[in-house]
Structure 1
Amino acid sequence: MRSALWLPLFDELADPTVVVRLAAEAEEAGWHGLFVWDHLHWRPPVREVADPWITLAAAAAVTDRLLLGPMVTPLARRRPAKVARETVTLDRLSGGRLVLGVGLGSDRFGREFSGTGDECDDRRRAAMLDEHLTVLDAAWSGEPVQHRGEHYVLDGLTFRPARRIPVWTAGFPGHARPLRRAATRDGFFPVNLEHPDELAAVAAAVAALRGDATGPYDLVVGLPTGADVAAFAAAGATWWLTDFDPATVSVDEVRGVLRDGPA
């Protein structure tokens, strides 16, 4: 199982120069990835929030091996053409180390949808997420994108260099639609898991949906330090992401976890 720092870019971690230093230290200490939250706003006591894409670009420039990506970006509040251009550029900057984590997002913690006039209905955001992924698949082919859907239009735009970027989808494991979506992608990040048996059930469900599909597939778990990471690995997890409390996370806490080393 591989291990990644998973950082909410809040307060002390809202300074990209701090995260860049942590990324370099993590790579030196043998960690395998650096993933960051993607938020516009968060509820108190959080006061400062950083942009994930600028932070990831800076981290990519000072590392050589870490996999990098937003975990997760709520595609329904972002335009497909902009995401396509950002992902192609960041993947090139990092030398092919980008993993795109995607999900519905939530209005619960920061009013990021209601506070900006974006779509608040979960079902409509799910439809937007699926259509957005269809557009990205076309964009990453390197061919001109001709798409006219319910939510998005792209007329002849091309995004190069061409490379299909790995996608991990997030969702609640008891819901059918997130499982079906995950089975068509490169990995699944089931949220709010409490026991390894839950992950084992997810692994079985995704395997059944994938059928004879070949190629690597990741099951990703976010767990705090001190959790029984080995038990989740035995249940099928391929990645452990460090789960920090966004209201209290500090540079010293992250650095302590970092120095303890990956699982």
Structure 2
Amino acid sequence: MTTRRGIFLAPFDALADPRLVGDLAAEAEAAGWDGVFVWDHLQYGERISEVADVWACCAAIAMRTERVLLGPMVTPLARRRPQVLARQAASLATMSGGRLVLGLGLGDDWVGEFSAFGDEPDPRVRGRMLDEGLAVLTSLLGGEHTDHAGEHYTARGVTFRPSPRVPIWLAGRFGNAAPLRRASAYDGFFVIDLAGAEDLDRVRADLEAHSVAPDFDVVVDLRDGQDPGPWLDRGASWVLDRIGPYDLDLADVRRRIAAGPSVT
């Protein structure tokens, strides 16, 4: 299995400009990176003052690149309307020539991402919203006739076109069974809060118990300075280099991207 390398970029403060994110993505593609993925947040605590919209950033990446995969990583589906998200995803997939990956998850309310705006703060309820929303979203993205009336979402007798193929990665914390089980039904698992590369052995064993497809993606992200080598050896299909969230310096970011995805 070939492990691909990506940039996991927080569009905050010095990087809170979709035009600049597009520039950085073009630089990443030229340096040999395989993907550029963008954090999706409305706010990120008192240390962050400026935040760019993830969809504008992804559109800029799509227009400035030809090869890299791209997408939001990750979007909390509970604060989105599945039908609007389906239109956004289909448009980005079309714009990028099929390079969009849709990262989805519960999200976290630690800085009021939900409660500050009157959205659902209870993670258990958001979990139910995620499951129901995924059913509506995938039906619409698949171009199916969709007739759904559920606890949280409604889609009455509609069919969406275009319906390009959009892979879905589900995110979850290491050791939590529900996110892994949910992800196993889709295209990939973005597993966070791993203590070390050896934790991937358990992740892969648990996924095999759910009979995931051979091309199922296991995705991890590395903090600044971590050696990707051990993660490559443990079977991660994507290893992302995290850029952010705090004290972002544009010159330093450009140096890190230009260095390419080499193993330290």
The answer, yes or no, to whether TM exceeds 0.5 is yes
How far residue 186 of structure 1 moved from its aligned partner, in angstroms, is 0.7
Structure 1 outlier segments of 4+, above 6 Å? none
State the one-letter code of the partner of 1:181.
R
How far residue 136 of structure 1 moved from its aligned partner, in angstroms, is 1.3
CA distance in 1, matches of 2:157, 2:59: 27
Instruction: Name the counterpart of 2:237.
Output: 238
Once the two structures are superposed, what CA deviation does each residue of 1:36-72 show, in whole Å capped at 9, x if it has no partner?
A: 0001111112110110001110110111111010000
Instruction: Name the counterpart of 1:79.
Output: 81
How far residue 228 of structure 1 moved from its aligned partner, in angstroms, is 2.6
Instruction: Name the counterpart of 1:121.
Output: 122
CA contact (8 A) 2:98 2:165 kept: no
CA contact (8 A) 1:88 1:159 kept: no
- Residues 179-258 of structure 1 correspond to what in structure 2 (within 5 A)? 179-210=180-211, 213-258=212-257
How far residue 247 of structure 1 moved from its aligned partner, in angstroms, is 1.6
Gaps of 5+ in 1: none
CA distance in 2, matches of 1:173, 1:209: 16
How far residue 118 of structure 1 moved from its aligned partner, in angstroms, is 0.4
SS at match of 1:243: strand
Instruction: Name the counterpart of 1:36.
Output: 38
How far residue 215 of structure 1 moved from its aligned partner, in angstroms, is 4.3
CA distance in 2, matches of 1:160, 1:149: 23
SS at match of 1:165: coil
SS at match of 2:86: helix
CA contact (8 A) 2:22 2:57 kept: yes
How far residue 209 of structure 1 moved from its aligned partner, in angstroms, is 1.1
CA contact (8 A) 1:179 1:206 kept: yes
How far residue 214 of structure 1 moved from its aligned partner, in angstroms, is 3.3
CA distance in 1, matches of 2:213, 2:190: 19
CA distance in 1, matches of 2:213, 2:219: 18
Instruction: Name the counterpart of 1:58.
Output: 60
State the one-letter code of the partner of 1:173.
F
State the one-letter code of the partner of 1:206.
L
CA contact (8 A) 1:144 1:156 kept: yes
How far residue 176 of structure 1 moved from its aligned partner, in angstroms, is 1.2
CA distance in 2, matches of 1:143, 1:197: 41
CA distance in 2, matches of 1:249, 1:237: 27
The 1:155/1:184 distance shift into structure 2, 3 A limit, reads: same
The 1:140/1:215 distance shift into structure 2, 3 A limit, reads: farther
Aligned length: 260
C-alpha RMSD of the superposition:
1.2
1:88 to 67, 73, 90: 90
Report % sequence identity. 49
How far residue 244 of structure 1 moved from its aligned partner, in angstroms, is 2.8
CA distance in 2, matches of 1:257, 1:159: 40
Gaps of 5+ in 2: none
Once the two structures are superposed, what CA deviation does each residue of 1:136-181 show, in whole Å capped at 9, x if it has no partner?
A: 1110221332111111000122221123310111101211111110
CA contact (8 A) 1:26 1:258 kept: yes
CA contact (8 A) 1:137 1:164 kept: no
CA contact (8 A) 2:139 2:146 kept: yes
State the one-letter code of the partner of 1:165.
V
SS at match of 2:157: strand
CA distance in 2, matches of 1:216, 1:14: 34
Once the two structures are superposed, what CA deviation does each residue of 1:178-200 show, in whole Å capped at 9, x if it has no partner?
A: 11101111111111112111111
Tell me which moved more, 67-76 or 224-233.
224-233
- Residues 142-153 of structure 1 correspond to what in structure 2 (within 5 A)? 142-153=143-154
CA distance in 1, matches of 2:231, 2:7: 17
CA distance in 1, matches of 2:80, 2:103: 13
Instruction: Name the counterpart of 1:14.
Output: 16
CA distance in 2, matches of 1:61, 1:157: 30
